[in-house]
Structure 1
Amino acid sequence: MVKGDCKLSGDIVIYAVSDSIGETAEEVAKAAAVQFNSHVKEIKRIPNLTDINMVDELIDRIKSSNALIVYTVIIPEIKERLIKRTMEYNIPAVDILGPVIENMERLTGLKSKHEAGLLRKMNLEYFKRVDAIEFAVKNDDGKDPRGILKADAVLIGVSRTSKTPLSMYLAHKNIYVANLPIVPEVEPPKELYMIPREKIYGLVIQPEKLNEIRRERLRFLGLSDNASYASIDRIKEELKFSRKIMKALNCMVIDVTNKAVEETASIILEDINNRKIEGVSGENTRNY
């Protein structure tokens, strides 16, 4: 709907106004402007219009000019003020989102959140999630020790302690995760000792359960389940070595024996959130 009855003539300036970044309003204005060759002098984006005084300043500045306002304003009081002031000076103003939202409210029986910038927030969340997933893949199984220095969380543990699925699950929660296998014959990379211990999560498991998991894995691969990889003695040796490393790092240790990936992830997420809220302090010797 266009507010105001005046007819514009000659070259005009279009103001793409929004209480968010104004990208949608600007793109609509551009799409319309190309239909009028060079008669649109300029398209000016006015973002973050979140204060009534800002509305008044804008209208007072353009009230005598050959202007058209194209707007995507969600905040009710800002929208009402904009409509009132444009009608006061007969400034044409086109509400891009309003009719769509009104019809969606009518069809769904629900009320709009009236929160500015939601689409941008959703897009930012999406791209961060994709980036976190790519990070987890790149830094899976100790592929690049340098990733340890950039990670929000570093998972360490012997083979088959759910490091990879846990990394991917956390990545979908926008956490940047690197994971590293602990093997007695290989010393952990120096980067592991260069990060705060609070970022490190040691994963352990009961030997018998790990024996069962590894034997099943070997059978799945068509190999003999009597290999050293699934030997209970070898498993105990690996777990003993991994606990030694975890003790030296003084990191949180989580027993994943009877835990689903989601359960282990919730422990880590809670710890990360607590650190964000409270800050890092005190000893981190809890076992789960």
Structure 2
Amino acid sequence: MSRKEIVYVVSDSIGETAERVVKAVAAQFLEDEIGIHHTSHVSDEADIDEIIAKAKKDSSIIVYTIVVDELRDYLNKRAEEENVSAVDLLAPLMQAFVEKFNREPAHKPGLTHVLDERYFQKVDAIEFAVKYDDARDLEGIKKADIVLIGVSRTSKTPLSMYLAYKGYKVANIPLVPEVPVPVELFEVPKGRCIGLVITPDNLNAIRKERLKKMGLQPNASYAQFDRILQELDYAEKIMKRVGCPVINVSNKAIEETANDVIDILNL
């Protein structure tokens, strides 16, 4: 078995950017033969000395994203002294910003992960989507920025989570002929409730695959055409009663549907 090459990823923040870049490059050189040693939150010269020593011992490369001038300069100096290859991922782009926009960088690590108001808004929205998923608590209908309705397997839950990541509080309600629709649904302002529909063929294929993953027979009533047509017909009648906009999710990525939802909200 050949020796695994090592790349040292170093950052004065989390270091996600550097690791992703290294992985993208490593994929071009048999990624499973290249190991990544990741060191985050480097804060002093001792940390850098330790990494330089390891990289020299392994005849390795250091790839880094360090924004504090003193640490970056020290790493470059020590790497040169020890004849260790060190690649600064941020410097060329940062210099281009300085020259183009005539501004100086803040030189503060971790700014992309600052716990600002928008971050907490996302967290609240994600917790909301989990709590009010699949009509678990009907209070969510009144509190939600968006209420999604549709039959089973129309991407209500993944769409709710995707929109939550964008900061929207989303509740979703499954439409099942045997289950009465909550009266709260008819009180939702029309612009905040959105119906999701799908073609019978697409829904049939999705439900069969779902049954297969669950270890059940694909001919169960859940995936039968008569049942699917019955559910879609029922859902259409409910959506007409609610008077909500409708999006066809057939063959659509979650991102596409989410953009359609946001466009409707903006209108």
Give the alignment's TM-score, normalised by structure 1.
Answer: 0.55
Residues 242 and 112 of structure 1: is their aligned pair in 2 closer, same or farther, counting only changes over 3 Å? farther
Q: 1:249 maps to what in 2?
A: 242
Which of 188, 195, 219 is matched with 1:195 structurally? 188
- Looking at structure 2, the residues matched to 148 and 112 of structure 1 have their Cα atoms a distance apart, in angstroms, of 47
Residue 219 (structure 1) aligned with residue 216 (structure 2) = no
Q: Tell whether 2:120 aligns with 1:127.
A: yes
Q: Aligned in 2, Cα 1:177/1:112: closer, same or farther, shift over 3 Å? A: farther
Q: Using the alignment, how far apart are the partners of 1:144 and 1:261 within structure 2? A: 24
Shift of 1:121: 8.1
Aligned residues: 171
Structure 2: segments with no counterpart, 5+ residues: 1-67, 73-89
Q: 2:144 — aligned with what?
A: 151
Contact preservation (8 Å) 1:136, 1:167: yes
Q: Distance in 2 between matches of 1:189 and 1:267?
A: 25
**Partners of 2:222 and 2:144 in 1: CA distance:** 29
Match of 1:229 in 2: 222
The answer to whether 1:172 aligns with 2:165 is: yes
Please report how far the alpha carbon of residue 103 of structure 1 lies from its aligned counterpart in structure 2 after TM superposition.
9.9
Q: What are the within-5 Å matches in structure 2 for residues 23-172 of structure 1?
A: 108-109=94-95, 110=98, 111-112=103-104, 123-172=116-165
Task: Identify if the C-alpha distance between structure 1 residues 239 and 121 changes in structure 2 by more than 3 Å, giving closer, same or farther.
Answer: same
1:213 counterpart letter in structure 2: I
Shift of residue 273, structure 1, vs aligned partner: 2.5
Q: Secondary structure at the match of 1:203?
A: strand
| Identity between Structure 1 and Structure 2 (%) | 54
Aligned-partner Cα distance in 1 for 2:227–2:113 = 52
Deviation readout 1:31-81 (Å, 9 max, x if unpaired): xxxxxxxxxxxxxxxxxxxxxxxxxxxxxxxxxxxxxxxxxxxxxxxxxxx
1:260 to partner: Cα distance: 0.8
CA distance in 2, matches of 1:212, 1:143: 27
CA contact (8 A) 1:153 1:178 kept: yes
- Structure 1 residues 264, 119: CA separation in 2 closer, same or farther (over 3 Å shift)? closer
Task: Provide the rounded CA distance (Å) in 2 between the counterparts of 1:150 and 1:112.
Answer: 43
What is the CA distance between 1:271 and its match in structure 2?
Answer: 1.8
C-alpha contact (below 8 Å) 1:164/1:179 kept by paired residues: yes
Look up the SS of the partner of 1:224 in the other structure. coil
Query: What's the CA shift for 1:123?
Result: 1.2
**Aligned counterpart, 1:209:** 202
Matched residues in 2 for 1:162 and 1:120: separation? 29
Aligned to 2:58: none
- Structure-2 separation of matches of 1:199 and 1:101: 49
Measure how far apart 1:188 and its partner are. 1.0
1:121/1:197 CA distance change after superposition, 3 Å: farther
* Aligned-partner SS, 1:154: strand
Equivalences for 1:243-282 in 2 at 5 Å? Answer: 243-274=236-267
| Cα pair distance change 1:112/1:173, threshold 3 Å | farther
Aligned-partner SS, 1:259 = coil
Q: TM-score, normalised by structure 2?
A: 0.60
What code does the residue aligned with 1:156 have? I
Q: Is the 8 A contact 1:101 1:112 kept in 2?
A: no
